[in-house]
Amino acid sequence: MSYPINRRRFLVTTAAAGTAAATVQLTPGRAAAQDGELPDFASFKTPDDVMVWTGNTIETERGAQGGSITGLSSLFVRNNLPAPPQSITDDPDGWVIEIDGVANPGSMTLGDIKRLGVITVSSVLQCSGNGRAFFGHETSGTQWSVGAAGNVVWTGVPLNAVIAAMGGPADGANFITGTGGEEIPAGLDPNTIMVERSIPIGALDQAMIAFEVNGEPLPVAHGGPARMVTPGYFGVNNVKYVKKVALTAEESQAKIQQSGYRVREVGAGGAPDQPSMYEMVVKSWITTPLVDVQSGKILIEGVAMGGVSTVTGVEVSTDGGATWQAADFTGPDTGPFSWRPFALMADMPAGQYELASRATNEAGDTQPEDFPPNHRGYGHNGWRDHAVLVTVV
Amino acid sequence: MSYPINRRRFLVTTAAAGTAAATVQLTPGRAAAQDGELPDFASFKTPDDVMVWTGNTIETERGAQGGSITGLSSLFVRNNLPAPPQSITDDPDGWVIEIDGVANPGSMTLGDIKRLGVITVSSVLQCSGNGRAFFGHETSGTQWSVGAAGNVVWTGVPLNAVIAAMGGPADGANFITGTGGEEIPAGLDPNTIMVERSIPIGALDQAMIAFEVNGEPLPVAHGGPARMVTPGYFGVNNVKYVKKVALTAEESQAKIQQSGYRVREVGAGGAPDQPSMYEMVVKSWITTPLVDVQSGKILIEGVAMGGVSTVTGVEVSTDGGATWQAADFTGPDTGPFSWRPFALMADMPAGQYELASRATNEAGDTQPEDFPPNHRGYGHNGWRDHAVLVTVV
């Protein structure tokens, strides 16, 4: 989204967690990408709309978010391993995916899979660590604020159709396990670095083998030629370059599953008995204004998602949560996994304002004011830390 | 959409209008674009997904259609005049639009307009002449088959908000008149070539100043930096590079309005008392299979639109309309102006099949079997001519 305040650097003020409002830079030390800074596999991103943290982690500028759909030119990128070469997308229909844990295990090409029936689903893609920058404790990992999220339209084949084509599930299947196609350097134990994620088998209701995003063939930066996408599930579960999908009795033995992406107390190590980052939750944030504005009628805009239940409403506060007004959705309802842009026109004389938003979904969940700390800084959806301080002059 | 049969040339068979089924090439003399054939302003198109008719007319391959959303890499292009230079999109927010026929006429920048409130709408963009190739009589103009149409997501500002910001409509306004920003060569009467279209003022309910498509800033090929978009209205009314919007008592005096895009008998000249190409109508077509396929369970897919009323159902026939079965929608309902992909799994032993589709909208309109000829070949939505002949082996 290109909004008035977009496409240039800005310093923004935000309310700090659980304390009096403090002026901080939203993404400390980072600003819009510099010329030539984008890695090759993400060279199609618009530099002014993204911040490049590393060659594998690119965040969308908060001011470049805001519409119903996030263009690929601003969509965030998060790879756990270096991406495969561009040539991996040269022949999408020839890409082979091994299917296991079914009555008749075997391999199918993406071309074969497409013949099973194509669906389109709109959904939020969000990194587990989105909002990590807002936690009060020190966290390792990319200090995402709100920009490790986007709303996109996936086109692909229901995993259920693939499973059915292979004779149906084998007995005892509890998980869907997807394996990424990244090259594992020789001599390393694959389990230490491979991208292999297991999600509960109930997710078969929405899991798909996606081959397009926003109507475009999946680029390598977003997992092309084929990605296992489960709408409603955090990013890490949407395995890029998927080369194997198995219905399994147990979770993957990979570190990324066993100890990674586990929610635990600050200071604790990751372990399989802790909750894994599976389903997303209700969340919203304001995308404009982010900088000082002229007094008068001011349009406050943002995005709101329901997680795995349709977002039904969003309230906006201009006084740090003392009072709330219902905002209007400004884009269509595209299902439970999708976000919707919202807007509220507010009369704002000169002064300081703490702008906050609070979404509710069909299941009745509402964003909490505060979100408790966890070791790795996952899943923050507290509305206060997502608020922005704006001076109206 | 990249389907199995996509991304290579194909010869396809189609049922000819009102006659026994005949084998013809869908787009006579044309096939996927050659390397280097794309004009500069459309260089981001995927050559295999489009056919280049002229430097200003590019059609989407039928096999590259099919999903909920049409990617910009395959979306058709139709310009009535040569496109402005790329530099026109260098500073989108500085683009000036004159607003007339309001209480306080004047100019606004796109940046100012964005501050009035942003909406997102999904809608079909379709050229008035889409389907022209299917008419039985000789027609001038690009011989589009089905590929002068796509379904995209527009982001922009409601024209109503712009009008309100300028004090509301002036008295006696009957039309919304949009003027394109193309350069008119010196010495020519502008009315003879300028792109200026008037639509009934009732369209204010949905007209918008769009500045993004599919989440991306509008490229020059699709009207950037700003386009007047009226969801539900044929392409020509969606004025590119819009430099003026006026509420007017009379229709534009431009030829494109007075005599162009008028529906009249074959052989008759265009005149203002004939129907203008305004609102689109219910329509559907099959996008796969288009070529010979192996016998067995065959997935028939296509797209269906309601025009200005939500598409509610689509039937598929494999026997040229003798019998029909209800197909399933495979993408979300994104409103009255949008198309939805559909699918039907059919058991098809070896033989010849005439595959047809027939859509119905909420208003109760159903596609006719045949569509009467009109001089310029506008607005064809007859299901028989859109059918495809396929041999199952």
- All residues of chain A having their beta carbon less than 8 Å from the beta carbon of residue B215 are 1, 67-74, 214
Residues of B in contact with A214 (CB under 8 A): 69, 71, 214-215
* Contact yes or no for A3 and B118 at CB 8 A: yes
Interface size, chain A vs chain B, as Cβ–Cβ contacts under 8 Å: 140
A113: closest chain B residue by CA: B4
Interface of A with B (CB under 8 A): 1-4, 7, 46, 66-74, 92-93, 111, 114-122, 153, 155, 211-212, 214-217, 299, 301, 330-332, 334-335, 341, 343, 345
Separation in Å, CA of B67 to nearest CA in chain A: 7
Closest by Cβ to A2, choosing from B117, B119, B212: B212
Q: For the sheet containing B311-317, what is the strand order?
A: B13-14, B388-392, B351-361, B311-317, B325-326
Cβ atoms A248, A187 nearer than 8 A: no
- Sign of the alpha-carbon torsion through B211, B214, B220, B222: negative
What ipTM goes with this model? 0.80
Binary contact (A117, B343; C-beta < 8 A)? yes
Residue B35 carries which DSSP code? T
Which CATH number does the domain housing residue B124 bear? 3.90.420.10
Q: Across the strands, what pairs with A297?
A: A347
Residues in chain B: 393
Nearest chain B Cα to A93, which residue? B4
What pLDDT, in 10s, does the model give residues B226-239?
A: 999 999 999 999 99
Q: By the 8 A CB rule, do B97 and B114 touch? A: no
- pLDDT tens digit sequence for B120-138: 999 999 999 999 999 999 9
Q: Which of A116, A216, A301 sits opposite B71 (nearest CB)?
A: A216
Are A216 and B341 inside 8 Å of each other by CB? no
Closest Cβ–Cβ partner in A1, A7, A211 for B212: A1
pLDDT per residue as tens, chain A (393 positions): 222 222 222 333 333 333 333 333 344 445 678 767 999 999 999 999 999 999 999 999 999 998 899 999 999 999 999 999 999 999 999 999 999 999 999 999 999 999 999 999 999 999 999 999 999 999 999 999 999 999 999 999 999 999 999 999 999 999 999 999 999 989 999 999 999 999 999 999 999 999 999 999 999 999 999 999 999 999 999 999 999 999 999 999 999 999 999 999 999 999 999 999 999 999 999 999 999 999 999 999 999 999 999 999 999 999 999 999 999 999 999 999 999 999 999 999 999 999 999 999 999 999 999 999 999 999 999 999 999 999 999
Is B154 part of any domain?
A: yes
Put simply, the answer to whether B341 touches A121 (Cβ < 8 Å) is no
Q: Distance (Å, rounded) from C-alpha A368 to C-alpha A175?
A: 30
Check CB contact under 8 Å for B334 and A332: yes
* Upper half-sphere CA count for residue A120 (Cβ side, 13 Å): 32
Name the amino acid, one letter, at B362.
Answer: E
- Contact criterion met (CB < 8 Å) for A118 and B74: no
Closest CB to B119 among A74, A121, A330: A330
Judge contact between A117 and B299, C-beta under 8 A: yes
Query: For A6, which residue in chain B has the nearest alpha carbon?
Result: B93
Angstroms from B120 CA to nearest CA on chain A: 5
- Bridge partners (DSSP) of residue A77 are A58
- DSSP conformation letters of A338-363: -EEEEEEEEEE-SEEEEEEEEEEETT
Q: Is the Cα torsion angle A299, A314, A236, A14 positive or negative in sign?
A: positive
pLDDT tier at B30 (50, 70, 90 boundaries)? low
Q: Are B215 and A74 a contacting pair at CB < 8 A?
A: yes
What number of other Cβ atoms are within 10 A of residue B296's Cβ? 11
> Residue A218 falls within a domain, yes or no?
yes
Is the alpha carbon torsion for A149, A151, A157, A161 positive or negative?
A: positive
Q: So what's the pLDDT on residue B19?
A: 33
Question: How much is the pLDDT for B33?
Answer: 80
Nearest to A153 among B69, B114, B211 (CB): B69
Whether A115 maps to a domain, the answer reads yes
Contacts of A87 (CB under 8 A, 6+ apart): none
DSSP A165-178: HTTSBPTT--EEEE
Q: Is the pLDDT assigned to residue B6 strictly greater than 60?
A: no
Chain B partners of A46 at a C-beta cutoff of 8 Å? 217
Identify from A214, A286, A342 which residue to disrupt to test chain B contact, counting B C-beta atoms within 10 A and taking the largest count.
A214
The chain B residue lying nearest A69, using CA atoms, is: B215
pTM of the model: 0.87
- What is the average per-residue pLDDT within B149-157? 97
- The tens digit of pLDDT for each residue in B85-113 reads 999 999 999 999 999 999 999 999 999 99
Tell if the CB–CB gap between A331 and B119 is shorter than 8 Å. yes
**Mean pLDDT, rounded, for B165-191:** 96
Residues of A in contact with B299 (CB under 8 A): 115-117
Residue B22, exposed/middle/buried by CB under 10 A (0-12, 13-18, 19+)? exposed
Residue B143 belongs to a domain = yes
Residue A178 CB neighbour total at 10 angstroms: 28
Q: Are B70 and B58 in contact (CB under 8 A)?
A: no
The structure tokens listed for A322 are 């003392």
Contacts of A120 in chain B (CB under 8 A): 67-69, 330-332, 341
Cβ(A38)–Cβ(A47) below 8 Å: yes
Query: Does residue B20 have a pLDDT over 80?
Result: no
The Cα of B191 is separated from the nearest Cα of chain A by a number of Å equal to 34
The rounded distance, in Å, linking the Cα atoms of B311 and B381 is 14
Q: Do B3 and A331 touch (CB under 8 A)?
A: no
Q: How far is B331 from chain A (nearest CA, A)?
A: 5
Contact B330 A93 (CB under 8 A): no
pLDDT at B215: 93
Helix (H/G/I), strand (E/B), else coil: B324 = coil
Closest residue to B331, CB basis, from A69, A120, A330: A120
* Residues from chain A contacting residue B71 (CB–CB below 8 Å): 212, 214-217
| Cβ–Cβ gap A72/B216 under 8 Å | yes
Q: What is the pLDDT of residue B67?
A: 87
User: Are A217 and B2 a contacting pair at CB < 8 A?
Assistant: yes
C-alpha closest to that of A228 among A274, A271, A190, A175 = A175
How far away is chain B from the Cα of A154, in angstroms, using its nearest Cα? 9
* Residue B153 included in any domain: yes
Q: Do B118 and A93 touch (CB under 8 A)?
A: no
Rounded Cα distance between A70 and A87, Å, is: 25
Banded model confidence at residue B147, pLDDT cuts 50, 70, 90: very high
Residue of A40, A41, A39 lying closest to A51 (CA atoms)? A39
Chain A residue numbers with beta carbons less than 8 Å from the beta carbon of B114 are: 3-4
Q: Compute CA distances B228 → A251, B201, B209, whole Å.
A: 52, 14, 5
**How many structural domains comprise chain A?**
1
* B290-324 pLDDT per residue, tens: 999 999 999 999 999 999 999 999 999 999 999 99
Note the pLDDT of residue B66: 85
From the list A67, A155, A216, which residue is nearest B120 (CB)?
A: A67
- Which one, of B146, B170, B393, B169, lies nearest residue B283 by Cα? B146
How far does chain B reach from its first CA to its final CA, in angstroms?
A: 25
With respect to residue A136, please indicate whether it lies within any of the assigned structural domains: yes
DSSP state of B5: T
Cβ <8 Å between A215 and B118: no
Q: Is residue A268 part of a domain?
A: no
Among B71, B116, B119, the residue with its CB nearest the CB of A214 is B71
| Residues of the domain holding A156 | 86-258
In a domain, B266, yes or no: no
Rounded Cα distance, B390 and B320, in Å: 11
Shortest CB distance from B155 goes to which of A46, A67, A335? Answer: A67
Cβ contact, residue pair A2, B217, below 8 Å: yes
